[in-house]
Amino acid sequence: MYQKAIVTFIDILGFGDFVKNSDAYHVNMVLDAVEKSTSPLILGEEVEKDDNPEVISFSDSVVRIRNIETERNKKHPIGLLFQELLSLVHAQGDLIDFNIIIRGGVSIGDIYISGGRVFGPGLIQAYELESKYALYPRIIIDPRLIQEHKTDKLLKAKWHSVEDELEIMGRLLRQGDDGMWFIDYVAALEGELDEHEMYPIFLRRHREVILAGAQKHSQLNAILRKFVWMANYHNHIISNLDDDACESYDLDKDDYIITSKELPALQYLRP
């Protein structure tokens, strides 16, 4: 029997080349990191087991399924869409520590899951979002999911109005130039990391991962284009950091910006 669920499809970028150039031990290390980072997160006392997603991993892909029609969610909806978005913020941030970059799509629809078998329109939609529309290292949100959130009480917290919850979710999302909304993990992590000094450490690590990946490609190609997008995204976050926040972090923006000298494909029409 189908169940209506929030479905996230995640893919590890560059996994094919990594497998070709690594042994089984290191491949397993990467997959272990992805499985751990994308597994259910307990994000508050109000979250119980039934609210967490089921997670299925295969090769370089992960599927997360949050059934929104459980008896518990019908009686006491806690905002499962927000919970999923916040989990993905942490997953993307955690994986940067392992030099792992992911791309994905989050949708809603009917899905069947039992005994390791999973299929359904919801999965197909999430997969197509990731493979056809995400394009860059980002997790995009199905516009239909955002629309359904405005009318389906099973997607939002019982104690929030639609307007309140959209505002809260807006802090985790960013709209791309193509109109697609995606997980704004770099900005969102500023308020999510447990220790104040961890955010500059994360930003520096994010910068290093982008440069390390980009410097493997001397000419513009499909892979380098993804790192250029990441560099632009990274630079946008750094450039817009509040001056008071920078002072509290003892952070000089110039030390964190990725320059065109470091990444020649990243060109701006200014000196």
pLDDT value of position 52: 77
| 253 vs 48, residue with greater confidence | 253
Q: Convert the pLDDT of each residue in 196-209 to its tens digit.
A: 889 999 999 999 99
The per-residue pLDDT for 45 is 47
pLDDT value at residue 40: 56
HEC letters along the chain: CCEEEEEEEEEECCHHHHHHCCCHHHHHHHHHHHHHHHCCCCCCCCCCHHHCCEEEEECCEEEEEEECCCHHHHHCCECHHHHHHHHHHHHHHHHHCCCCCEEEEEEEEEEEEECCEEECHHHHHHHHHHHHHHCCCCEEECHHHHHHHCCCCCCCECCCCHHHHHHHHHCCEEECCCCCEEECHHHHHHHCCCCCCHHHHHHHHHHHHHHHHHCCCCCCCHHHHHHHHHHHHHHHHHHCCCHHHHHHHCCCHHHHCCCCCCCCCCCCCCC
Average pLDDT score, the chain: 87
Count Cβ atoms within 10 A of the Cβ of residue 220 and give its class: 0-12 exposed, 13-18 middle, 19 or more buried: exposed
Helix/strand/coil (H/E/C) assignment for every residue in 29-62 = HHHHHHHHHHCCCCCCCCCCHHHCCEEEEECCEE
Res. 51 pLDDT band, cuts 50 70 90: low
Q: Measured between alpha carbons, how far is 7 from 15 in angstroms, rounded to an integer?
A: 22
pLDDT over 90 at 194, yes or no: no
pLDDT in tens, 132-181: 999 999 999 999 999 999 999 999 989 988 898 888 888 999 999 999 99
**HSE (CB half, 13 Å, CA atoms) of 245?**
13
- 54-79 residue pLDDT tens: 888 887 788 999 999 999 999 999 89
Q: Over the stretch 2-34, which tens digit does the pLDDT of each residue have? A: 999 999 999 988 777 767 777 677 677 777 777
pTM recorded for the entire structure: 0.90
